[in-house]
Structure 1
Amino acid sequence: MTRSTDHVVICVFDGLRPEFVTRERTPNLVRFAESGTWFREARSIFPSETRPASASIATGAPPSIHGVIGNYFGIPEVGNKVLEFRSLTEIARVEERSGRPLVDAETFADVLARHGRKLAVVHTASPAATFMMNPQAARNGHWTFSIHGRDASVTPEAVDEAIARFGPLPERDLPRFAEIDYAERVFREHVLERIKPDVALLWFNEPDTSSHYRFLGSDETLSVLKAVDEAFGRVLGWIEEQSDDERYTIIVASDHGHITTTDTVPLHDLLRTVGHESCRPEEPIFTGTQISVTRGNTGEIRITEGGIARRDEIARWLMEQDFLGMLFSPGGNGIEGDVPGTFSLSLVGLNHARAPDLVYVLRSFDDKDVWGNPGISFITPDYLPAGGSMHGGLSTHELNTVLIGAGPHFTGGVSDHRACGIIDIASTVLAAFGLPPAATMSDRSLLEASSERRGPVVHEVGIGRFRQRLTSVDRGRSRILLGGGRIA
């Protein structure tokens, strides 16, 4: 490459669906896309949730490698409850008791540190998601700021610096207008202007939060999306004012999409009625119950009493229910899992040692929601307000992400339709500096022209009247999940 990069800037719009990027709603994003390459077929990972997606962005790998297998999951040897990772203290306890890092793979930040380069992060999502981006920030000599304060930041001095310059952290509100503005100022005026790291990452928690609690197409969600776009425009404007702006590589991404939820499925209660005593997420597991079930439109089932026989019985019962969308089990032949009719967890990159006995996805449909957005789904109760949107599953509305690159290595005004995803961001960042990816990372850099010649592969499995389909593209060291769901 004859052109080089001095700085990489990454901006993540949590939960942004690509079709929401329009001239009316996000003029700055559209202007940016016209100057770069838009990867139209970019995908998240499974489950399409923020914490595993964050770990995949950081490590360039699926959950089968980095070990963050969901937003919430159980690890019997470290406690008797489903782990929610609400604090750095809880994460430290998990790592101490398990003897393994929570993010169990090398990150692009680790590679940068080995080569004397720095990463600075300004993050407004959960403390756990912030942690995932650079778990070893302190050891690496890097800088991480969380909008949640000192206790949520791996480098708490970053919060002290921000408060000293910009005043107290904003009060939480919904939509998160104040947090967006505060974080953008810290990023632009402190990180970019003063710290000047090699790589700078800004993570907006919107439009994800408002999509969950104020609904996907509502006026409130669209207004906060406009605010995020304006904040991004200020960052973009600052870069354009620099004398060396041509030496900045900019990557804009979302970690997953969204789908509107409709009817609720009381999965815990239904399983109890058919003889499987299930605990709720806030209740202790592994004692006094037979199974644990996490909630959402996607979740895990762990057998605490009854072993394989109970697992298979639950799987057969689930596949008889109209509300089930997809079902996965460990082992098998790489396509079908140990339980007939299920897909193998290895097919979707979830075959980690922490994997549960079953992973379910509630059924989704391509029907339009009340705002005209395609995609609706079932959800378990007591998780979101009725009509709130969700993610985690394998519908294209949840998997398809925004991924746009601009700078010295990208071609302007191009739509690239290669199979790619958030797992390629790590290798792309490193390639911008001429650094090779870690051995566990996807070896596909978005800076290079695509040489992929393999088309999508479609797999179908099922039993009785239940049948499910998954479409993916195999790329050697990595697999891109294009979409999946129930077909009968």
Structure 2
Amino acid sequence: MKKPRRAVVVVCDSLAADLVRPDTAPALAALRAQSAHFASARSVFPSTTRTSSASMATGSPPSAHGLLGNTMVLHEDGQLVRLSVGKPGFLDRLRSVTGRTLRCPTWAERLAPYGGSIVMSNVSPGAAYLQDPDGFGHVYHRSGSRGPGGIALEDGLSIEVGAVGDAALTERFCREVLRDRAPALAVLWLSEPDHTAHHVALGSPEHLAMIAHADACVDQVRRTVDVLDPGGEEILLVACSDHGMETVGRQIDLDTLLVEAGWKSGLESSEVVVAPNGNAALLYFADSARADISALAKWLQDQDFSGRVVWGSQLADLGLPTGGPLGIALALRHDAVANSHGVTGCSVSVRSPFSDSSPPGCGQHGGLGASEQHPFLYLRGGGLPPGERSQPASLVDIAPTVLHHLGIAADGMHGRVLR
């Protein structure tokens, strides 16, 4: 009897496509040769893990699903409040304020009646839970694991972020999820090389060691899939990253700069609230300050730290909503300068009150730089012939492609099926 179709998705957080080479990631380079390789794959904006997770899970851009960055601003009790999306309780707070989490159904919700989903993730709690924010399947994370209905699971993950945790996660994923439980969708999200790259130079021995580690984890999954589906017809294997990284050239304190220029009355004032997202920032405006949007945008355009400044109807061009308190999207200035290890891409970064990682000289993401917007994307199995594809592709195309392989409708998703 023919086995039911399945999909396996492995994400190497922050691994840019250009760093997948035979000398840095031999298993991934070999897998690329066996796969449909989407060489033009792009991330979303902001190119942050939490936004990427929501976009991948819903097959839709931020303007549709509503999760606008690693940092977001909510309208609470008449005030604009800045929050970290990465905290374990963020989704509960989002639900209490807006009445919902994501504005689009996730693949976990769509697959609940059709074999279900299991996600094992070692990134931030917020990014992990965004794969299935409303408890339709299983999500395993070190901050707490949840089953259908959001019920806490006793067989959670006792691991730490980083390489050791990723290794333990991968072993359990292959043994328990792929071999024993066999859901329709299995997602493994590794913390490396992102976790290390925020603290070291891109291309440094420490960074390359974490790329090699992630490469070995992907290869363990690939070998397990080969045993379970030798013919490569039942299981669609998706190996990808959510975004890449750029070297931080310098950091700016955008709140302080706005106060000094007179756009904010004080650092804690809420007429204009900055949501820092690494190499990008989103600026939210109280109703009383919305008349200043155009003038502030033009001021930002004249600053030496600015790359692209977008406001008004043009926010839709970046996949962002044009209604609500969001007023300006700022992608920081970047260039193609190489660091001391020969890795190209350097960007200005915005200091965040929620993180002390990514000082100058280390890796960061969030903006529109060529490296951070260039994840890798390989699809193997499911009848897809191998070879490089030049067609445009994005993170939002992964979910509809997976659902198509599983024979499930992807109605309402903005992405398209990759072939």
Structure 1 residues 210 and 59: CA distance shift in structure 2, 3 A: same
Aligned with residue 324 of structure 1, among 306, 309, 313 = 306
8 Å contact 1:297–1:390 — kept in the other structure?
A: yes
The reply to whether residue 242 of structure 1 matches residue 228 of structure 2 is yes
Letter of the 1:368 counterpart = A
Shift of 1:278: 6.0
**Equivalent residues in 2 for 1:292-441 (5 A)?**
292-295=273-276, 296-304=278-286, 306-331=288-313, 344-351=314-321, 353-354=323-324, 356-381=326-351, 383=356, 384-412=358-386, 414-441=387-414
Counterpart Cα distance in 1 of 2:266 and 2:375: 34
Counterpart in 1 of 2:49?
50
Counterpart Cα distance in 2 of 1:147 and 1:215: 27
The reply to whether residue 161 of structure 1 matches residue 134 of structure 2 is no
Shift of 1:256: 0.8
Secondary structure at 1:76 match in 2: strand
Secondary structure at 2:128 match in 1: helix
Counterpart Cα distance in 1 of 2:67 and 2:266: 22
Structure 1 residues 127 and 278: CA distance shift in structure 2, 3 A: farther
Structure 2: gaps (5+ residues): none
8 Å contact 2:51–2:67 — kept in the other structure?
A: yes
Letter of the 1:307 counterpart = A
Structure 1 residues 434 and 209: CA distance shift in structure 2, 3 A: same
Query: TM-score, structure 1 length as denominator?
Result: 0.79
Larger Rg: 1
Aligned with residue 268 of structure 1, among 246, 255, 264 = 255
Shift of 1:80: 4.8
Structure 1 residues 271 and 402: CA distance shift in structure 2, 3 A: same
Letter of the 2:138 counterpart = W
Secondary structure at 1:170 match in 2: coil
Structure 1 residues 300 and 162: CA distance shift in structure 2, 3 A: closer
Structure 1: gaps (5+ residues): 164-168, 332-343, 449-488
Counterpart in 2 of 1:135?
133
Shift of 1:445: 0.8
Shift of 1:213: 1.3
Counterpart Cα distance in 1 of 2:337 and 2:126: 33
Structure 1 residues 62 and 171: CA distance shift in structure 2, 3 A: closer
Structure 1 residues 4 and 36: CA distance shift in structure 2, 3 A: farther
8 Å contact 2:274–2:283 — kept in the other structure?
A: yes
**Equivalent residues in 2 for 1:107-126 (5 A)?**
107-114=106-113, 116-126=114-124
Shift of 1:418: 0.4
Letter of the 1:91 counterpart = L
Query: TM-score, structure 2 length as denominator?
Result: 0.91
Letter of the 1:145 counterpart = Y
8 Å contact 1:253–1:404 — kept in the other structure?
A: yes
8 Å contact 1:297–1:361 — kept in the other structure?
A: yes
Number of matched pairs: 411
8 Å contact 2:7–2:402 — kept in the other structure?
A: yes
String of CA shifts for 1:97-156, please: whole Å, max 9, x gaps. Answer: 222x22110112222124x2211110011111111111233xx3x211013334899856
- Moved segments of 4+, more than 6 Å: 151-154
Shift of 1:83: 1.6
Aligned with residue 230 of structure 1, among 194, 216, 224 = 216
Secondary structure at 2:72 match in 1: coil
Identity of aligned residues (%): 27
CA RMSD of aligned residues (A): 2.3
8 Å contact 1:278–1:293 — kept in the other structure?
A: no
Counterpart Cα distance in 1 of 2:212 and 2:200: 15
String of CA shifts for 1:398-447, please: whole Å, max 9, x gaps. Answer: 111110000032112x11110011100010011002222122332x211x
Counterpart Cα distance in 2 of 1:178 and 1:409: 35
Counterpart in 2 of 1:208?
194
String of CA shifts for 1:196-233, please: whole Å, max 9, x gaps. Answer: 11111100111112111122212111111111111111
The reply to whether residue 190 of structure 1 matches residue 190 of structure 2 is no
Shift of 1:369: 1.6
String of CA shifts for 1:12-39, please: whole Å, max 9, x gaps. Answer: 0111101111111111111211111110
Counterpart Cα distance in 2 of 1:230 and 1:278: 51
Structure 1 residues 415 and 279: CA distance shift in structure 2, 3 A: farther
Secondary structure at 1:213 match in 2: coil
Counterpart Cα distance in 2 of 1:276 and 1:151: 43
Shift of 1:4: 8.8
Counterpart Cα distance in 2 of 1:145 and 1:263: 36
Secondary structure at 1:358 match in 2: strand
Counterpart Cα distance in 2 of 1:257 and 1:313: 32
Shift of 1:353: 4.0
Counterpart in 2 of 1:445?
417
8 Å contact 1:258–1:391 — kept in the other structure?
A: yes
